[in-house]
Amino acid sequence: MNKKIIFDIGANNGQNLEYYLCKADTVIAVEPNKNCIKKIKDKFHQKIADKSLYVEECAISKKKKLGNFYINKSKSVLSQIDKPKENNNKFTKIKIKHKTIKELINKYQKKIKFKKIYLIKIDIEHHDYIILDQLFNNKILPTYLSAEIQNPQALIQILKSPYKFFSIIDGINKNTTIKIKSKNSDKKVKKIISEIHSAGPFGDELRQWYNKEQILAYFLNNGLGWIDICCTNEKKQIHKNIFYDQNVHRQGFRYHIRKLIPSFINMLMLKFIKIKNKL
């Protein structure tokens, strides 16, 4: 039986870990903020002891190196790899190990011997696209992939990917309840509290799935922001259609899409122009 493995990239204070530990055999929590690492280790010390949870104190970036990381003093979720452009006094600079996603996965492939990754969740403050690029270039396709879409590069990577089914999760700004079936043979339903700043549910707990044309229309209508996309190639029933709304951008579809970056236009114009034809 294949073990279910979850990589939580950007685990922060461990908001997703109780949920992930109910869904998987092993969870690898990756977090460069030493203050968050301490909270995770204190809260989940028993899971770490029984080796169902591993904690990696590192940043994921393009190269293996020792690099900078900037801890936000008041809001840990705003900590980042890049040097802050302003309000430097709100951050503490530390040195931390940087690893590539492939290096990290290879390490745990050797350690716990899994066939396929069940979920990779990514939330690294505007740099999700870096990990997405590494995953797709190395043909690493977990059963489920969750990423935050705060910039066009991340959306481009998702739309270029081999994934066919997508669910949209708006930012979790309050504690919500997720009902999941137990991993045990009794299959009892368990209630998990999804904390603020968590990535929310994935997989069987999601009910509304869309195709690429629909999620493109969604972001044209709503813009980017604190929004996560869950991707999979597991067969899902497509939800009701989403169409591009010209009233959102009065200049029209063509004008709006030209405002996006050139690579976005080249990749999408011909493939998704049929969205306009449905109006």
Residues 208-217: pLDDT tens digits? 999 998 998 8
- Judged on CB neighbours under 10 Å (0-12, 13-18, 19+), 49 is exposed
pLDDT band for position 174 (cuts 50, 70, 90) = very low
Query: How do residues 161-172 score in pLDDT, each as one tens digit?
Result: 999 999 998 755
Answer for the pair 40, 10: CB distance below 8 angstroms, yes or no: no
What residues does each domain of the chain span? 5-242
- Determine the pLDDT at residue 254: 54
Q: Global pTM?
A: 0.80
**Given a cut of 90, is residue 21 above it in pLDDT?**
yes
**Given a cut of 80, is residue 185 above it in pLDDT?**
no
Rounded Cα distance between 138 and 225, Å, is 27
Quote the mean pLDDT of the chain: 80
Q: What count of other Cβ atoms lies within 10 Å of the Cβ of residue 160?
A: 15
Rounded Cα distance between 6 and 27, Å, is 5
- Percentage of residues in the chain with pLDDT exceeding 90? 38
The amino acid that residue 147 corresponds to is A
Query: How do residues 40-95 score in pLDDT, each as one tens digit?
Result: 999 999 999 999 999 999 988 888 888 888 777 777 777 777 787 776 788 888 88
CATH homologous superfamily of domain 5-242?
A: Vaccinia Virus protein VP39 (3.40.50.150)
> Tokens at residue 173, please?
């700004």
